[in-house]
Structures are given as structure tokens and as C-alpha cells.
Structure 1
Amino acid sequence: METKFAVRARPPAFNSRYRFLRCRRASFSTFLLVLVFTHLLAAQQPPTIPRTDPGAMATLTGTVKDPAGYLIPHAQITLTAVPTATSGSSAAMVTTSDDAGVFRLAGLAVGSYSLLVQATGFALIQQNLVVTEPRGEGHAQRIDVTLPIPTAEMQVSVGDEGDDTAPEHNGSAIVLRPADLNILSDDPDTMKQQLEAIAGPSTDGAHFYIDGFEGTRLPPKSDIREIRINSNLYSAQYDTPGQARIEIFTKPGAGTLHGGLWGNYSNSILNAQDPIATQPAYSHSQLGGYLSGPLGKHLASNANFSRNMYSDSSFVKATVLDGLNVVALTQAIPNKRTQIYFDPRIDFQGPFHTAISLRYIVSHEAQAVGGVGGLVLASEAYRLDNTSQTMQMLATKSFGAKTVNELRFQYTRTRNNEFAASTAPTINVQGAFNGGGAPGGTTRDNQDTYELQDYFSHVFKKSFLRAGGRLRILRDASDATSGFNGAYTFATIGAYQLTLQGIAQGLTPAQIRASGGGASLFSLSVGTPKAKVSRVDGAVYVEDDWKVTPKFTASIGLRVESQTVISDHFDVAPRISLAYAVGPKGKPARFTLRAGSGIFYQRFSTGSQLRIARGNGVVQQQYQVENPDFYPLIPSPAALGASVPPAITQMDPNLRAPYSVFSGLGIDHPFGKVANLSVNYTNTHLVHAFEMRNINAPMPGSGVRPYGGTNAIYEYGSEGLSNQQSLRINSSYRKGPISFYTYYSLSFNDSNTNGGFPSNSYDQHVDYGRAANDIRHQMYAYLNADLPFKIHTSTNAVLRSGAPFNITVGQDLNGDTQYNDRPTYATDLTRASVVTTRWGVFDTQPIAGQKTIPINLGTAPASLQVDQRLSRSFNFGPKLPDAPKAAGAKTPAKPVPVRRRYSFDAYVYAVNVLNHANYTNPSGVLIPVQAGQRSTFGIPTADQGARALLFGGFFSF
């Protein structure tokens, strides 16, 4: 039998049909003061037990169980009579459940009581009950209590009636518990992609929160207790919308010793051949486990570890020169990766409903060949070595069942290192290949993040009030030689070929350029490789979920944010959501109507700060030479400094924090208690999006540079915008051994920036069109089911329409040093610059009167991914006691399976079981071909893997 140990208490669900509400935290100083005050107050009021006629004395008995129905021994039961106008306060009667989870309280007076049940490893639960007169001698009134598993967010429920109009129970919300996790891969990277698919498309991608802190490194699946997706879309507690917000909660320590060991293995012998290139032999293995148990009466621990070893390939599909001949290169580059994860924690259950959790997480990743694939050749590879360490402290205090505060602190120390395999100059041939040395050079990046969260909550009769704040400090110290090796850019593979041919023939640089050869740009960075930046951001919020009527809930919140670095220090973000249940009074709702809107801000990253710190022209100097005639030589910095002014990177002094207005409408329709259908429409309007532009680029028409000279001035601005509309239809079914969930999403996302440079530094409007993440159609489905012979099956499938990609000419046509200019629609088909594609006939050398093609005109192939898992569980060892039956419960029609002490799950997991080739986007650069032929730029550069089988097992006790 397994009794889990928790450090985060959770008050009871007074009304399961309404909802669980998140409880939050107050300041730690307030927590200490209130703790002392309540203790002294209790000491000054010696209570008395009310007594009545002994003949009217009653007995209360019952059981304490966990959510799975297993008995919980040694749970503490506290029964306190509710004070009346005549009786005053009452003493509490305290007992504990026995080894079978059964408790008994005798000699009770008839009347109202408050029952508090708590057990190590579970959230406390408190509820009111009425003890009635005994019906006869020996009769005992019975109550069965189920203690919930605690969460990082303590939850309570409000009210005693009404329909489920909770904001976190919107139609797109999903909760995955341990029984549902079979649909996910054991590989953290693959699991992350699957969760992003379940969450669906959003404007700025998915956001992961692990135990309340935002992060990207996921814990092993064996350490996950619950996953919530798209919960409470407009909550003021978060700085991101609930759409595509993925919250992961890990397991606490347990009150009894238990653990497990798991692993899987895959080998290329059993897998399908990749359609891109012939792969060398490869394998993949994972090994992990956990151990949890008590360290004393009030202490428990839990530790998880995992090791993933990959021996696979990176695929290159490029156009290169073999000697002086242009050839297609398709190659699989062997690549080995290792990931190690270790996560011990200690949980302490203190007095007065106080709980403290201390946790340490360390993860390490090493990769032999990084940065290779697509157009990037093996010569640009770098060795990767990353280590992340996290220390967490969580302190929780609950004051009865209605008031809770929680203090969280996290320190994360991340050390990312990249070591270039070659220091030769980088060679970028637009649309063909990226070769030479690694452009990033050798990088050592040290990040330290401190985060403090302090939240408070209180439950009123018809409302739930939450308030709190967050303070975050980030420090980034970097030592990087990016660009120190120099880089040449060639507009086409033909220009690169003519350059090498001219050098071999002894031609002068002028002759090479006259023949159509020569590089388009040379860049070199010199100076100090070290830079250090920091950022502080904070936020406070208050929010109230008000149950106006049993069928109508209004959630109103306000969040205020601020950050250093930029001049925008006061960002106000109001939030509101409404839900109304339509149906006859006293009956379940036929429909639930939902609406909401809120403002959400984004923060300026430390990575952008580092770029500004280095690019100010003093710490580092970046020299750029257009149409250089000294290839393949690297001129000295002194020679460049005497003739070329360095490029400057800076921030717009009026830079503002981007914010999005996220709004939506939805309708939910239940089908009894087993199925649900919902339709949701959302609109996201993002303004002041970050972008960069060369504010000293030649002005159209005149060619004059506004700031003089010939150097580029790259400036971070906030003039970008985007608009996304999405219609999502969700359906779910859960009954007995079958659970099913699916959705279809139709999205339209237009934008004038992708966070980078516009094609026209003086008119960003010309880039307004399909956004890079405009996935028009997406369907997702998962299925869990029990098959004959005790076999369990899980299916996870996602189908996406092709993503857009930008079609460019691979040249800098306007002198802004950016190679993102688009062709025009051809008007003279006899010109040599005309290229025929499946999207039209384009001219790569635009002339007056021609219209520039829209941004992201191309569309990549659609993708289909279906993963399948088959498993069989074997139970053995000593028999565990059956879960108790409630009074009056009917005997089940089928015999209850016998529970054993040990279990072993054997499974096979098929990745991409249909062996569908899912290609990545092409580069989008037009490659000139012979007259009459169609351009081949639309051929994808790589894929995401063929079908692979993993065989694994999980032993637990």
C-alpha cells in the first residue's frame, strides 16, 4: 500500500460540480505573524466539549482513502462542534485511522460539526457535517473521506450548488493524470513536442510551467503527477495567456517506501530506413527510476533520475561544389547525445498546517555534433556541453479551509558551452549551403536566475480572492567569439563556383566579378568576447472569481508588471472572463457560454541585451564589407578599421513592452457525464512587437543614408504587430476503460515581423502577411483503451497543414545588409532573371513597375505523426488489502482485480507508426536553373525521422 507524502496542503472540494479553485500565497512575514497570533489565541481559549443526554450520544465511523480507492492508515481526524449562540467554542475530538484506514469517534452529541482530515502525503480536507440521533443501539453514522493528492497550487471550491462555470474548466482545457500519460513518449524532447501539439497553435508558441516556475527542461514522465493544458485562459496570475500554457506538477515524497525502475531501447535494425539518406547504424536507450519514502515522522523524500543516450544522425541536404562542379549532397552525419537528470527532494510536514519542500534538480546534456542539418554542413559543427542546476524552496501555510498562502523561491544556475570544430572562415551560399567554420565560434554562457513568488488566497461564500506577486532577477555573463573567424556571403551557388574557377585560372578580382562571381558580403567581429548583462522584472496581481448566481461566474483580475532595461516601466494588464450555464433551475446545464478578454505583456530578453552590449562599437567592432574582392583572405582588423566604420547595435530609446489583447468566445455542451463538445473562437491582437532594422540603410530613391557614412546601425524597435484568429472544436469522451480526446483548429495569423529584420527598413507594411507560424489547419487526437488479454493501447496523432515559408532572391537589393529581399512577379518572361515555380513566375532582378510577391508565399508539405503504444501489466508479490466499500454500496458486477505489491509493465512504443515522411521547410531561396526548367528550391531540406520502435518496461513496488 502506498501513502504519499505532501508538502502542499489542499482544502476540500465542497462542491465537485462547481470546481477546484487555485489557492495562492501571501507574504512570508504575514504568514509568520498570523501563525504566532493564531497559536496564542488558541492557547487563551480552553474549549469545552458540549454534552447532552447520554441516550442521545451518537457514533461516527468511516474510512480514509486516496483518489485510487486505497486505504490510508494513520490519518489524523479532528472533529470540532460548530459553536452556537449558547454553547460557545468546543474542544476538538482527535483520533487516527487504523492500519485498515478505518476511524471511529463515539460519544458525540447531536449537532453540527466541522471535520478535518489530514495525512502525510495528501492535501488536508475539511467539511461540515451534521450528526443525527442514532437509529438504534449499536448504529453508527458513516462517512467516507477521499483525500486529494496535493498540487503545487492549492485548490479549494466555493459554494454548495450550481453548475460548473469555473474559468479553468473551459472547453479547451485538458488535464492529464498518470493513467493518461501513456499517450506521451518517455523521451523528454519528444514528449515536449507532443504536449505542444495537444495545446494547439498560439501566437507566441507554448509556455511550460514546472511546479509553478516557467521552464523548458521537462522532468521524466515517471516524476509527473499531473499536466494541465489551456487552463484558465485569462488568469491574472500568469504573464502569458492560458492558450498553449502547459502546467506540469511533479510527485511529492511518500509516507511509505516505494519506487520504480524503467528503461527502453531502440535499434536501427528494427526501424524503417529514413527517406532522406542512408543512415549509419544507430541506437537509443533510456534508463531511469525513482525512490520515495519517509525519513521520519514528519519528513519524506523523493528522488528521480534518468539517463538518455542517443546515437543517431543529423541529415544534410544541400547543393555544394565537388571540385568545381555543382552537385547535390545528401548526407547523414553520425551524432551522439547524452542527457542526465537527477532530482532529489525533501518534504517536511510542520505543525499548524505548515509544509515545506526543498528540492534540487540537476540536468546535463552533451552532444558531439551540434548545429548540423539541412543546408548546414558538417564543417560548421560544434560540441555542446550544457549543465543546469536548480534549487527550490516552497513553504505553504493554510489557515483552516479557506485561507492559504504559499511562498516559492527558485535559483537556477545554467552553464551552456559550445566548442567550434573549426575556426576557418564561414561560407554562406544563399539557398545552397552553409559551410566553413562555425559562425558562433566558442561560447561559454553563464546564466543565473532568481525568482520569488508570494501568493495569497481566501474563499468567501460566493467568491474566491487571490492576490500576490513575483520578482525575478536574471544575470547573463557570456564569453563568445561569434563572428571572430570572419564570414563570406555569396548570393548564389553560381557566383561561388565562378569565384573558385576564377581563382584557379589566376583571374583578377575585377575579372572574377565581371564574369558574375565574387562574394556579396564579408563580415568580421573583433574586440572583447566577454559581456555581462542583467534584468529585473516583477509583477503584482489581484483577482476574484465571483459566483454571482449558481449559474453565472465572473472572474475579474488586474495585473501590473514592470522591468528594467527598457523605458516602459509600468504595464497594466486587466483581465476578465464570464461563464453562464444555460439550463433549467436545479438541473445540469445544457450549455455553458463563456467569454473573456485580457492584456498580456512580453519581456525584453537578456539575449538581446547581450547583442546590444557587444555591438556598441566599443566592446566589439563588427566590420562589414559589401562586394569584397579579397576572398579567401581575411584582412587584418587594423586595415578594416582604417577604411570601414563598424556596424552599431542599439536600442530605440522609446522601446515599449509588446502586449497582446487576447479575447475569446466559447460554448460547451455536455453529453451526460461521459462526453463533452465545445466550440471556441479566439482573437489575439499583438502590438509593439520587437523587431530590428537598419536605420542607416540607403533611403529608397535617393540612396542617401540618414546618419551618413556607410556603416549599418541596427536598432531594436517595437513597431511590429500581428493578428491571429482561431476557431477550435474540441470533443472528449471518458467512460470505463476508454478515454478519447480530439480537436480541430482553423487559424489565420498575419504579421509584419518575425522578430528579425524587415525587407524594407522604411516601410514595414510591405511585410504584412502570413506569419511564419500560420498553420492553417491542425487536428489532434489521443485514445486510451483496454483491449482483451489485459493489453492497454494508447494512440497519439497529429495532422498539420504545411507551414508557410518566405521566398527570397538570396541578394541584398536595397543595401540594408540583409538577404531577405523577395522577387517580383515577372512581366517580361524573356529576361534571364525569370524563374518559374509552383507559386508563379518570378523575376529575381526586379525592374520598375513589377509587384513584389507577398511574404511567406510558399507552403511546405503537410505533416502527419501517429505514435502508438501497446502495454501489458503483470502484478505479483504479496496481496494488498482491497479498498473499503462505502455503506450501502452495491457489489460490483465484475470481480475487483487483486492488487499486488509489485508490478511490471512491458510495452512497445512506435514513433511515427505510419512511417510518414515529415519534411521541414525549405530554405526558400530561389536557385536559378536552365531556361524552361522549374526552380527546385521547394524541395524540403530534411525530415523528422522514420518509424522507430522502442521496447521498454517499468518495474514498481
Structure 2
Amino acid sequence: MKRSLTSLLAVAIFAFAAFGQQQGSVTGQVQDELGAAVVGATVTVVNPEGRVRTVTTSQRGEFTVSGLTPGIYTVRVAIPNFAIYENNEVEIKAGQRTELTVPLTVEGVQEQVDVDTSNQVSTDPNANLSATVLKGEDLEALPDDPDELEAALQALAGPSAGPNGGQIYIDGFTGGRLPPREAIREIRINQNPFSAEFDRLGFGRIEILTRPGADKFRGSAFMNFNDSRFNSRNPFALNRAPGQTRFFGGNISGPVQKGKSSFFVDINNRDIDANTIINAQVLDANLNVVPFQQDVQVPTRRFSISPRFDYQINDNNTLQLRYSYTNAKSENQGLGNLTLPSRAFETTYTENEIRVTETMIINPTTINETRFEIDWENREQIGDNSIPTVNVGSAFVGGGAQIGLSFNKETSWELQNYTTTSLGKNSEHAIKFGVRLRGLTLRDRSENNFGGSFSFINLDSYRNAILGNDFPTSFSLTTGNPEQKVSQTDVGLFITDDWRISPGFTMSFGLRYENQTNIKDSLNFAPRLSFAWSPGAGGARAPKTVIRGGFGIFYDRFGENLTLQARRFNGSEQLSLLVNSFDPDPVRRAAAIALLQQAVFTVDGVTNVPTAAQIIAALPQSNTIRSISPELQSPYMAQVALGVERQLPFNTTVSVFYIGSRTWHVLRARNINAPICPEQVNCLDAPRPDPLSGDIYQYESSGVLNQNRIFTNIRANITPRISIWGNYSL
């Protein structure tokens, strides 16, 4: 079976040994299990001093590395979809050629066990010891559930990921729903953090590679079961609530056309009958305070199926297709603590995702990869908004859910074209460049708070309102057009170069440019620079220390959700009205109290609710507007890192890094129509800049964020099957 290289391909040939010394060479052919030549495999040859030479196999699967000084070498062969081959005792003799036949097995047959198979330090940009690589049996330690798996990976990424958390890439694509654990081949976290290939902050980047098909039919199945009979009683519940979790699934893979194509299908189903406890206080028919305690079952259902198809078009081209379908439903959402059953709502979610990747070997040193993804997501919520919500402080929240019929329908797409190459056969430069285009169209319908919400300070105030002796502290109401549409497109271009200046010093530098619609800021250039220096490399003994450092600019995007809010609450599409009994202006306060006293409360609900027309007529300033500053700029972070990696005895490595960052143009919402009080006297009656409008919250990029951290990572491969690793940040 032939495969082409889909990961980074570097051709870095070191200088010859000392002049006049007789040298040897190694040559061979890489084959799959059927004896077919494997094209585009990366062959790495490491000498006893740790010096590395890398070549790729030809169209006949052959490779040759010459100019080698006599000694014992390590030969490693890697290509996606196959297990890594490694031979640590390849002897090179003076004036002789060592011949090898390298058999590769499909990844599904032979998996690696160690979190990181090498405990040796290296100046390779992708070999930073602060990275975590999980594959093979290490994946079994992770949660089965995709939601819990994502939380675990975000925890592994650590706080250095920044305020937005780690960015997840699945088979090179940005975001998307996490595949089940059984469909994952490898996970990489924090690898090569200053690469210009990626837009987001490198520390905290999570890359996930899914499994390909196998050359023989194989499959697996699992089932997890949990019942509430094995759980203790919630101390706030009278009885132990019934509950159950049923999680089952499996996968199957095999060939479609022997030696040409294969498939992998993963199916999962999760049913959770959880429960929540309502522990509130309400009034009975005689207006006495009585406790309200109830166990409410919260059922959730989720089903997913994800088939993948791999096809080798010819010796130089391969095609990968992946489809993913997810359907989920949750009932009795929004309940618990003080929230009563009347506020329950239902959520449904469906997603259809198609991903296509085509890889082409242009020549032995150049690989081109084109990826395309299209994704359809639909989220719907249904809840009662025909009656107002009544929020009584420290007692209960009742009435309607204020959801109505709401949905969020998003169609997104992503196109990538990346090329990896070198400057020639004997070049010390590994170059990668490419472009990424992304776009989305969002239709969003929100009836949130269309029924209105009353607020009371406490239960006594609510009781007095029923008796006609008090009124709510506030009432909010939303009205207008519930549906809005937003489109957004962004582009990213990059070029990066890994330059091995000497056996012990590698420098990587690159430049990235980004732009997006919906804001005017367009000059988003992001330079990246990093280095790795290994003192003593190239000498008689392998180096044990690597010093790494780097600097980079990372831009963030202005999300489509903020554009949606600005369009929805622009002052005319939807009105967000507030009646406040504590309004500092005495005239507005009197009008607000009159509207609040209009409502008639009983233990069963409320009638004579103020309408939007009444509120606008009495309080023209009650509407809250949201807008986008015309000077808004993309947030960007400048990050610097410096650290040391050290190889210790007993297969142990440790790394310590300082990471400092400063973020400019942090997004925030500021009330630009807040009352102005120039003399700091009698501020309650201070005028607004626009006296005819209420609060106007404008999204602007005026914030600054500073962050300094010390990050420590330790790893020990105690046995071939036992690895211990951990990290600590300060």
C-alpha cells in the first residue's frame, strides 16, 4: 500500500565529515505489508553525535544517504497512516554501502505506547519538550465522552493558552466537534508554538489526527454503564434520584480496494438520564413561606457517526474524505437550585460535516496539500415565553423560560492550500507556505425575554406586592424582529523557514498576514521567530541540553457573535427595554414606579404586564443599544518565551520556560452614553452625552492584558509501558 506524506517535510543535509576521512552510505527501499513501494516517506538518519540527515523516498520507495562517517546510526522512517519504523543499530562502515529493506505496518496494526517516544533533546522546532504527544495506549487514559475529552485536553494545554483557551485543530482544520476517542490516532499539544502556519497562540494549540482505514478488516466495540443505585443521595434531596448513563459504540475498518483504498467508520451513542435538584422557597395559597424541593430528571441524548475513506489516486496523489454526523437533544434545561419547573426548555442540535484532503507529491522535496471543509450546524431551543419570569431574590425564579422558538443555523467552510519544500537537494532550509480562507453565514432567531422579567429583592417584597403594598424593583422586556443574519470571511497567508545553521543551532522564522470582514482593520502582519541551540552538538557525545527561545505576534478575530449582537440591538431591530425603580432621575423614576405598580401579582402569576408601547411612551430612554466602534482593531498578542530543556538519567527529561505576553486592543463593551459628571457633585442628576437615548454599549478595542508565567514540564519513561509526566505553571 502506498501512502504520501501529509505532515511537514524537511530536507536538511549536513556538511560532510572532516576532509580526507573515508565515508560510507546507507540505501534501501521502504515497503508496505504487501511489498509495494511507499512514496514520500521521511527517512531520518541520526549519527552517534546526534547530527541528523533527512531525505524522502522516491517514486520507487527508495532512499540513499551518503557521506556518513563510520559508526552506529539510528534510522527512522515515518509517514502518515503507518506505524513509525526505527532501527537503532545500523552500522556504517568506511567505504561501504549498507542496504536496508524497511517494512512498514499500518498504524491500526502497530501503535506506539509512549507519550513521547524520544527522551533525547533535539533542536528540531517540532521537538520542544514542553509539547505533549499522545498516541496508542496513552489515549486510553483519556475520557471516552467527547465533551469530557475536550475539557481534559484544555486542561493539558494549560493556562499558557491565553484567556480564550486552547485552539483545537482536527486533521488540520480549525475547530469542529471533537471526534470520539476511538477515532483518534494522535494528539499533539503545544508543539512548535511559534510556527507561522497557525493563527492562534502556539502555547495551548491542540492538534488531533484521526484514524485511517486498515489493510485488513478489523473492528472494536465498547459499552459503559452507570446507574444511580451506586451513587449516594444528594444532601439537598429527600430521596436518591433515579439516574442512568448508557454510552456505547464501536468502529470498523478495512480495505475497499486492496492496496488502493480503505475505510474507517466510528459510531457512538450516549444516553444520560441525569437529574437536578430544585431547592427553593415559595408562597402557598395563604401566602405562607413553604419549601419547594423536587428532583427533576434531565435526559440528554447524543448520536454520532463518522465514516472516513482514503484513496490512493496514483503514485503521487492521495485523497481523504471524511463525513461526520451528530444529533443531540436535551430536555428540562435551565432548572436547578432556585429555578422552578415552569422555566424548563428543550435544546436540539444537529451537525453535518464534510472534509476533503488531497495530497500531491510534486517532486522528491516538494509536497502540496489542499483541504476543504463545509459544515452545517443547527441549534434549536423551545421554551415558554408567553408569561413573564418572576425572579425573587434568594427564594425562587418562576414563570416562563423566556426562550420561545429560537434557533442558530450556521453554514461554514474552510479552504487551505499548503506547500512544503526546500531550496534544493543539499539545502539546510525547510520552507512551508500557504493560504487559508474561511467563511460562514449565520441565521439566528432569538425570542429571549419576549415575555418580560420582573425582579424582587426578597420574598417579603413579593408577598407585599401580591397584597398590593409593594412593587418589583425592575422589569425588562425585549421586543422587535427576532431573526438576524450575519456573514463573515477571513483570510490568512503565511510563509515559514526552518534553517539548520549548524548541527547544534536551528533558527525558524516566518511571517503571517490576516484580514477579515465586518471590521476595517486590515494591516494584520504577524512575524514569528524562534531558535534552538544545543551546546556541544556535533561533538563526540550526544548533547543533553537545548536552549529554546522565541517571539511572535498572534492576532485574534472579531467574532461574528458580536456583529450579530450589534445588528440585533442597533436601536430599531430589537428593543431591549428596562424599567428601573432606582433610576437616578426623579422624573424617570416616577414613571418607572407607575409602570411597575400597574402589574397585578398572585401566587399563580402576574397580569396587566406593561407593554413595549407603554414603556417607550413613558420612558423613551429605556432602550439599550449595542454598536461597534468605527476605530475597532483586531486584538493581538506579543509573546516571548525562553527556556531550557535537559536530558536527565533514567530516561527522564525536564524543561523550564518563561513565557511573557502583552495583548493590545483587547475587546470590551463600554457605555458611551453613561451620565457625565464633570464636577463630581450631584452626579445622580448628571446628563448623558445623548439625552434622548439610554445606555449605548459600544464594542471597542481599548483593553490591555499582561501575562507572565513560569512553565515546568517533566517526563520519565520508566518502562516501555509506563510513562510519567506532569507540568506546573506559576
Same-fold call, TM cutoff 0.5: yes
2:711/2:727 contact within 8 Å kept: yes
Q: Which residue is equivalent to 1:455?
A: 418
Taking the TM superposition and a 5 Å limit, the aligned residue runs for 1:296-315 are: 296-297=257-258, 298-315=260-277
Taking the TM superposition and a 5 Å limit, the aligned residue runs for 1:19-168 are: 64=31, 72-76=33-37, 121-122=81-82, 141-146=99-104, 164-168=122-126
- Over 3 Å counting, the alpha-carbon distance change for 1:11 and 1:666 in structure 2 is closer
| Cα separation, 2, equivalents of 1:665 and 1:325 | 66
Q: Which residue is equivalent to 1:481?
A: 447
Q: Which residue is equivalent to 1:741?
A: 725
- Cα displacement (A) at 1:405: 0.9
1:417/1:445 contact within 8 Å kept: yes
State whether structure 2 residue 335 is matched by structure 1 residue 382. no
State whether structure 2 residue 247 is matched by structure 1 residue 294. no
AA of the residue aligned to 1:663 = V
Q: Which residue is equivalent to 2:299?
A: 336
Q: Which residue is equivalent to 1:244?
A: 204
- Over 3 Å counting, the alpha-carbon distance change for 1:133 and 1:596 in structure 2 is closer
Among candidates 412, 415, 418, match of residue 378 of structure 2: 415
| Cα separation, 1, equivalents of 2:514 and 2:217 | 44
Among candidates 494, 511, 515, match of residue 562 of structure 1: 515
Q: Which residue is equivalent to 2:130?
A: 172
Q: Which residue is equivalent to 1:643?
A: 618
| Cα separation, 2, equivalents of 1:457 and 1:116 | 20
Q: Which residue is equivalent to 1:676?
A: 653
State whether structure 2 residue 222 is matched by structure 1 residue 262. yes
AA of the residue aligned to 2:467 = Q
State whether structure 2 residue 697 is matched by structure 1 residue 714. yes
Among candidates 550, 557, 568, match of residue 614 of structure 1: 568
| Cα separation, 1, equivalents of 2:497 and 2:398 | 57
2:31/2:61 contact within 8 Å kept: no
What secondary structure is seen at the aligned counterpart in 1 of 2:449?
A: coil
1:528/1:620 contact within 8 Å kept: yes
- Cα displacement (A) at 1:433: 5.0
- Cα displacement (A) at 1:261: 1.6
2:12/2:500 contact within 8 Å kept: no
What secondary structure is seen at the aligned counterpart in 1 of 2:387?
A: coil
- Over 3 Å counting, the alpha-carbon distance change for 1:315 and 1:563 in structure 2 is farther
Q: Which residue is equivalent to 1:192?
A: 150
Taking the TM superposition and a 5 Å limit, the aligned residue runs for 1:841-856 are: none
- Cα displacement (A) at 1:458: 0.8
What secondary structure is seen at the aligned counterpart in 1 of 2:407?
A: strand
Q: Which residue is equivalent to 1:762?
A: none
What secondary structure is seen at the aligned counterpart in 2 of 1:179?
A: helix
Spell out, residue by residue over 1:842-891, the C-alpha distance to the aligned partner (whole angstroms, 9 max, x if none). Answer: xxxxxxxxxxxxxxxxxxxxxxxxxxxxxxxxxxxxxxxxxxxxxxxxxx
AA of the residue aligned to 2:724 = F
Spell out, residue by residue over 1:63-97, the C-alpha distance to the aligned partner (whole angstroms, 9 max, x if none). Answer: 857xxxxxx22322689xxxxxxxxxxxx99699x
| Cα separation, 2, equivalents of 1:438 and 1:237 | 45
- Cα displacement (A) at 1:658: 0.9
Among candidates 283, 293, 300, match of residue 244 of structure 2: 283
- Cα displacement (A) at 1:163: 6.2
- Over 3 Å counting, the alpha-carbon distance change for 1:295 and 1:119 in structure 2 is farther
Q: Which residue is equivalent to 1:831?
A: none
Range moving further from structure 2, 330-339 or 315-324: 315-324
AA of the residue aligned to 2:696 = I
Among candidates 635, 639, 643, match of residue 666 of structure 1: 643
AA of the residue aligned to 2:167 = H
- Cα displacement (A) at 1:180: 0.3
Range moving further from structure 2, 641-650 or 227-236: 641-650
RMSD: 3.5
| Cα separation, 2, equivalents of 1:355 and 1:726 | 43
- Over 3 Å counting, the alpha-carbon distance change for 1:578 and 1:427 in structure 2 is farther
1:423/1:485 contact within 8 Å kept: yes
- Cα displacement (A) at 1:416: 0.4
Q: Which residue is equivalent to 1:526?
A: 479
AA of the residue aligned to 1:243 = F
- Cα displacement (A) at 1:305: 0.9
Q: Which residue is equivalent to 2:577?
A: 623
- Cα displacement (A) at 1:273: 4.1
| Cα separation, 2, equivalents of 1:231 and 1:140 | 34
Q: Which residue is equivalent to 2:553?
A: 599
Higher strand share: 2
Spell out, residue by residue over 1:634-691, the C-alpha distance to the aligned partner (whole angstroms, 9 max, x if none). Answer: 2222222323333322111111111111221111111257211111121221221111
AA of the residue aligned to 1:715 = Q
Q: Which runs of 5+ in 2 are unaligned?
A: 15-25, 41-57, 63-74, 109-119, 582-591, 600-605
1:7/1:348 contact within 8 Å kept: no
Q: Which residue is equivalent to 1:505?
A: 467
Structure 1 vs Structure 2: percent identity of aligned residues? 31
How many pairs align? 638
What secondary structure is seen at the aligned counterpart in 2 of 1:662?
A: strand
| Cα separation, 2, equivalents of 1:673 and 1:642 | 79
State whether structure 2 residue 533 is matched by structure 1 residue 580. yes
Spell out, residue by residue over 1:128-164, the C-alpha distance to the aligned partner (whole angstroms, 9 max, x if none). Answer: x9999999xxx995443546859xxxxxxxxxxx961
2:669/2:697 contact within 8 Å kept: yes
| Cα separation, 1, equivalents of 2:80 and 2:699 | 53
- Over 3 Å counting, the alpha-carbon distance change for 1:709 and 1:422 in structure 2 is closer
- Over 3 Å counting, the alpha-carbon distance change for 1:705 and 1:457 in structure 2 is same
State whether structure 2 residue 148 is matched by structure 1 residue 210. no
What secondary structure is seen at the aligned counterpart in 2 of 1:657?
A: coil
1:7/1:357 contact within 8 Å kept: no
1:316/1:373 contact within 8 Å kept: yes
- Cα displacement (A) at 1:217: 1.9
2:384/2:400 contact within 8 Å kept: yes
1:11/1:401 contact within 8 Å kept: no
| Cα separation, 2, equivalents of 1:16 and 1:230 | 27
| Cα separation, 1, equivalents of 2:147 and 2:6 | 32
What secondary structure is seen at the aligned counterpart in 2 of 1:640?
A: helix
State whether structure 2 residue 389 is matched by structure 1 residue 426. yes
- Cα displacement (A) at 1:194: 1.4
What secondary structure is seen at the aligned counterpart in 2 of 1:193?
A: helix
TM-score (normalised: structure 1)? 0.62
| Cα separation, 1, equivalents of 2:30 and 2:490 | 48
AA of the residue aligned to 1:653 = P
TM-score (normalised: structure 2)? 0.80
| Cα separation, 2, equivalents of 1:232 and 1:519 | 57
State whether structure 2 residue 340 is matched by structure 1 residue 356. no
- Cα displacement (A) at 1:742: 1.0
- Over 3 Å counting, the alpha-carbon distance change for 1:75 and 1:640 in structure 2 is same
| Cα separation, 2, equivalents of 1:219 and 1:506 | 57
| Cα separation, 2, equivalents of 1:592 and 1:60 | 31
| Cα separation, 1, equivalents of 2:455 and 2:540 | 72
| Cα separation, 1, equivalents of 2:544 and 2:28 | 38
Spell out, residue by residue over 1:247-292, the C-alpha distance to the aligned partner (whole angstroms, 9 max, x if none). Answer: 1110112222222222211112223444564541111111111121
State whether structure 2 residue 616 is matched by structure 1 residue 655. no
1:366/1:385 contact within 8 Å kept: yes
- Cα displacement (A) at 1:604: 1.4
What secondary structure is seen at the aligned counterpart in 1 of 2:257?
A: coil
- Over 3 Å counting, the alpha-carbon distance change for 1:744 and 1:120 in structure 2 is closer
| Cα separation, 2, equivalents of 1:199 and 1:118 | 26
2:214/2:253 contact within 8 Å kept: yes
- Cα displacement (A) at 1:213: 1.5
AA of the residue aligned to 1:709 = L
Q: Which residue is equivalent to 2:20?
A: none
| Cα separation, 2, equivalents of 1:292 and 1:433 | 53
